[in-house]
Amino acid sequence: MLKIGIDIGGTNLAGGVVDDQGKVIVTDSIPTKADEGYEAVLGRIIQLVNILREKAKEEYPDQQIDAVGCGVPGIVKNGVVINAVNLHWKNVPLAKDLYAAVHIPVTLINDATAAAVAENRFGASKGKDDSVMYTLGTGVGGGIIVNGKVVNGAHGVASELGHVIQEPNFYSCNCGKNGCLETYSSATGIVKQYEHEVEKGLKTDLELEEIAAKDVIDAAREGDEAAVAAFEVMTDQLAKNISNMVDILDPEVFVIGGGVSHAGDFLFDKLKEKAGKNITFKEVVGIPEIVPAQFGNDAGIIGAAYSGEYV
């Protein structure tokens, strides 16, 4: 059986047909044009599903498509998009509307949670019933899976790990609160922290016009004073969140995705060391298992395609 995954982004609708090994065998994408409104975007999602279906039929004529999943950048509950700010959607019954047009069961999932599903079904947390994933990008996305199901909450807002308040920070989060994990541990956060350390007078050898998170981490590895300070703050706060999650959920594994996760052992050894210290029952838990994600850009499509098994 094949499944279709659609990753609904603010700019593009990216779709793929995924086989039972988690391989994306057919892809396509069309512009979202969110400003044209829900009905117009729905029409393009239907168009994309039909294009993918036709392509799959040509290349894999004996295979059926039994599910469609949509990864949504916002709050979803029971097939309804409660709120997706970038798309200007509020309370739209996307699953019902899409099903009426394509006649294949449709599931909706938050896009960050979709990445956790991809990792759990085929990647870094495969075979583990309980896992927590952080995606470190512009923001921090979260995905929590307990007993093989995603934790979506009573209102669809669970797993928002990026907006858990850690402690007061020198700047506020886009969500309006102060001290959110994403202001410390996102790619954006580590760059801001680095700039803050330079302003405070810490030495740095980085001479770039545009500094990316990777530059800060690479410089920290080389011992750059301001970069080391920023890296310590970033890992302190993420490790704190991880150890809190152990106290709350005691998952089998933590998965870290997003560009920052390519930092390798330098990042993962530090997180394990720091998180291990703050776990209440550390003599029982030991060093938490923290591993890098295995999927990159495809995670959204693969996770959306298989979301029906997890919602």
Residue type, 15: G
In the complex with Zn ion, the residue whose CB is nearer, 61 or 176, is: 176
Residue type, 237: Q
CA distances to 3, 66, 100, 171, 293 from 126, in Å: 19, 22, 33, 37, 11
Q: Are 15 and 7 in contact (CB under 8 A)?
A: yes
Encoded one letter per residue, x for contact with Zn ion by CB under 5 A and - for no contact, window 45-64 reads --------------------
- The C-alpha atoms of residue 237 and residue 182 are separated, in whole angstroms, by 9
In the complex with Zn ion, the residue whose CB is nearer, 61 or 168, is: 168
- The C-alpha atoms of residue 266 and residue 256 are separated, in whole angstroms, by 13
Binding segment for Zn ion (CB under 5 A), chosen from 128-136, 180-188, 215-223, 271-279, is 180-188
Say whether 253 sits in a helix, a strand or coil.
Answer: strand
From candidates 3, 53, 163, 272, binder to Zn ion by CB under 5 A: 163
- The C-alpha atoms of residue 10 and residue 184 are separated, in whole angstroms, by 24
From candidates 180, 191, 233, 242, binder to Zn ion by CB under 5 A: 180
Structure tokens, 296: 């990159």
From candidates 40, 85, 175, 248, binder to Zn ion by CB under 5 A: 175
Q: Is 173 a residue that touches Zn ion (CB under 5 A)? A: yes
Residue type, 113: T
DSSP state of 149: E
Non-local (6+) Cβ contacts of 178 within 8 A are 165, 168, 169, 172
Binding segment for Zn ion (CB under 5 A), chosen from 59-67, 137-145, 172-180, 233-241, is 172-180
Q: Is 192 a residue that touches Zn ion (CB under 5 A)? A: no
Shortest distance in whole angstroms from residue 289 CB to Zn ion: 27
- The C-alpha atoms of residue 306 and residue 5 are separated, in whole angstroms, by 8
What is the footprint of Zn ion within residues 116-135 (CB under 5 A)? none
Shortest distance in whole angstroms from residue 191 CB to Zn ion: 17
Shortest distance in whole angstroms from residue 171 CB to Zn ion: 11
Binding segment for Zn ion (CB under 5 A), chosen from 13-21, 166-174, 189-197, 238-246, is 166-174
Binding segment for Zn ion (CB under 5 A), chosen from 22-30, 79-87, 165-173, 239-247, is 165-173
In the complex with Zn ion, the residue whose CB is nearer, 169 or 307, is: 169
Binding site for Zn ion (CB under 5 A): 163, 173, 175, 177, 180
